[in-house]
Structure formats: structure tokens, C-alpha cells
Structure 1
Amino acid sequence: MDRLTATLAVLDYAAVAVFGATGALAAARRKHDIVTFGFFAAITGVGGGTLRDLLIGAPVFWVGKPGYVIVCLGAAAAVWIVGPRRFRGHTLTWLDAIGMAAYAVVGALKATSLGVPPFSAVVMGVLTATFGGVIRDVLAHEPSVLLQRELYVTPALVGAATFVILGLVGTPTTPAGIAGFVAALSLRSGAILWKWSLPGFGGPVDPENDGS
């Protein structure tokens, strides 16, 4: 296993585990049973990567490697055992931020490793990072992360673009991946803590009519 493959595997499993935990936490908020915990964790953990692989014509990553789904189920079991009361405040939000930042890099990394052009690789990073969270919110009947005023897609875009651009100028995969992860997580953290957002069309949004 070369360094690129090893890096991709580690980041992939880590991102799947974190996103799987966010899916289980969403199920916990609705007081679902253990089977639904596992379903939410799996669909959230592998949803973005599945879309990426289908679009770039690659074998869907978890079909031949069921360990990814097992990791999701393990994350669901951990949330079930520990109990949602142990997860205080904005745990779901922060876990989602970490998973988003990791998946932005993972998606772009896999796309570039398969010869996808740089611009398309950035798009794949964004889709990988955001689609699982969208599915989770729809299934849990939660407000979609895409409808919130806080920056969400933009951090994924910045993280994926940072990784791809650094790769184009010859930066090794690991430092480029770390830089992309830090860029995405930093921007998303600022959005969570200080409500950073891009200007909306037509001026400020009336909070009473804001869909978020």
C-alpha cells in the first residue's frame, strides 16, 4: 500500500466514523430505536462518498469493503451506549464540521487519484462533504444544513480547493490534505461561533422569515 492509498484509507474511515456518529445523534434526537440508529449512521456516513463514486464512474467504495458500513454501525452503537445526554450543546454541529472538513479532502483526493480534472475534483470534494449531511437532515426532519445562513458549502469548497491547488503546485499529499482540512474546519468554526455568512440576494434576510 503506497502512501497515497494509506492516507486516503485513514481519512476515509475517520470521516465515515464521524459522519456516522452525527447520523446516530440525529436519530437520538428523535428517540428512534437501535436499528434506525444504524440506518441513519450508515446513510450519513457513506452517502456523500456513494454519490461521488457514482458520478466519477468508480466502484462504490463501501460495496467491496463492508468495513465502512461496519464503522458506521460501530459509531451508532457507541452513541446508543454512551447516551445522547453525554453529548452536550452543539456536539452534532461540531462533529458534522469535522466530518465535513475531512470529507472535503477525501472526496477531492479520491477524484484526483483517479485522474479527474482539478475543477471537477473540487466539486467532488464538496459533494462528498455535504451530501451525507443533507440526507441525514431530510430523514430526521431537521432543517437542512444547506438552508442555514451560516457558511457550510463554502468551507467545503475552500478545503477541497486548497487541497487540489496545493497538489497542483507540487505539495505532497499529506501536507496538502492537512492544509485543506484545517482551512475547511477553520472557516466552518468561524461560521458556528460567530455566525459568518455570505451576503444574501437582495440584502439582509428578515430573521422571522429565514428558513434556517
Structure 2
Amino acid sequence: MTILALLDYASVLVFALTGALVASRAQLDVVGFAFVACLTAVGGGTVRDLLLNRDMVFWVADPTHIIIAVLAAVAVFFTAHRVESRMRWLVWLDSFALSIAAAAGSGVALALDQPSIIVVLMGMTTGCMGGLMRDVVCNDVPLVLKQGELYVSCAMVGAITAVAAIQFGLPVQPALLTCAASCWVLRAGSIAFGWHIPVYKSRPPRQ
């Protein structure tokens, strides 16, 4: 199994868990759990593959991804009530999913010999779109848009790190692991220590 396949499977699993946790907060039925989990798990990768015009969207080529997402949803449906703080679990699991998916998206673009800017954009798209779809469908404020949150910027930095590492001669696999690590460190810092980026604040016009 290739590193890209492993990253796709891992991101699908962890994003599916976050989608199911959001479904539990919305008190959906088991079908709702499965729908939100699948949407979250494959949303970013689907947008990536369509933009890159791949021969076949990854989960259509290998439906195992959908099976993994549904199984994760069912598992959370029967166990979510045991979790003391579902929001805390959601935020931390999402940070791992973001990091893995950013690396997966960057890796797919690299494998297709895309230019550096497209590699970065695909890393950001794969990392962020699934969670954005999840939150919009479940009527939550998207994590991606919360004021000052390091989120999209984490995926961007991770993807840039991968591109830079390859430019300096690092093989693709370690470069993608570096992408995931740098993305997660920034996101974890935002969650644990309140790291944030400046937020626009309106001011009265000068007289």
C-alpha cells in the first residue's frame, strides 16, 4: 500500500469520526450519522479530485473508503453517549484529520506533477472542505471560519512545508509526514494555547 493510500484511508477514518460526533450533537438518527460521516470523510478529497480532473474520484475507485466512514459512524452512534465532552473530542480529532488530509491532498497533487501553488491549494482544499461541509450541513459555525482560529492557515503552512522540503531534496514520503506534523503543531497550538491570527476590526472613518 502506498503512502498516499494510507493517508487517504486515515483521513477518511478520522474525518468520519468527527462527522459522526457532530451528528451526535445534532441528535440525528443512524442514517444521519452515516450521511454526515461520509460527507465529512470524502468531501475534501472529492473536491480535490474533481479540480485535478483525476480519472476517477478516489472513493469511487475504491469504495472501501465509504465502508470505513459508515462503520465509524455506526461505532460513534452506539458509543458517543459515553464521551464526557464530545466537543473537545471533536476539536482534537478534527486537528488530526486536517493534518492528515492536508498531507494527502498535497501528495496527490505532487504525484500528478502539479506546480507548487496547486500542491498548496490542493492540500488546503483536501484538509478543509470536508469539515466545512460537515459544519454547514449540521448548522454549526464552521471551524474554518471561527474568528482568529488557525485552521486554513495550518493546512497552508503544512503544504508549503512539503513543497519546500522536496525543493531541498527530501523524498516525498518524509516531506508529506513533515507536512502533517507542521500542520498539526500549529492547529494544536491554536487549540491548547490560543494561538491565533489577527482579526479585522472596523474603525470609525477619520474626519
TM-score, structure 2 normalization: 0.92
The whole-number CA distance in structure 1 between the counterparts of 2:7 and 2:104 is 6
Residue in structure 2 matched with residue 145 of structure 1 by the alignment = 143
Pairs within 5 Å for 1:24-173:
24-58=20-54, 59-86=56-83, 88=85, 90-148=88-146, 149-173=148-172
Single out whichever of 26-35 and 83-92 deviates more from structure 2. Answer: 83-92
Contact 1:25 1:84 in 2 (8 A): no
Q: Report SS of the residue matched to 1:90.
A: helix
**Aligned sequence identity (%):** 41
Work out whether residues 44 and 128 of structure 2, in 8 Å CA contact, stay in contact via their aligned partners in 1: yes
2:186 paired residue number: 187
Q: Residues 87 and 8 (structure 1 numbering): CA distance in 2 closer, same or farther, change over 3 Å?
A: farther
Give deviations 1:28-85, integer Å, cap 9, x for gaps: 0011100010000000000000000111111211112100111100110111122243
Q: Which amino acid aligns with 2:197?
A: L
- Is contact 2:21–2:80 with CA below 8 Å preserved after alignment? no
Structure 2 unaligned spans of 5+: none
Q: Is the 8 A contact 1:20 1:42 kept in 2?
A: yes
Q: 1:87 Cα deviation (Å)?
A: 5.4
Gaps of 5+ in 1: 205-212
Q: Is the 8 A contact 2:15 2:37 kept in 1?
A: yes
Amino acid at match of 1:122: V
Once the 2 structures are TM-superposed, how far is the Cα of residue 199 of structure 1 from its aligned partner?
1.1
Q: Is 1:12 equivalent to 2:8 in the alignment? A: yes
Separation in structure 2 between the aligned mates of residue 20 and residue 36 of structure 1, nearest angstrom: 12
The letter of the residue matching 2:137 is L
1-side partners of 2:17 and 2:140: how far apart? Answer: 16
How many corresponding residue pairs? 200
Residue 198 of structure 1 deviates from its aligned partner by: 1.1
Runs ≥4 in structure 1, deviation > 3 angstroms? Answer: none
CA RMSD of aligned residues (A): 1.5
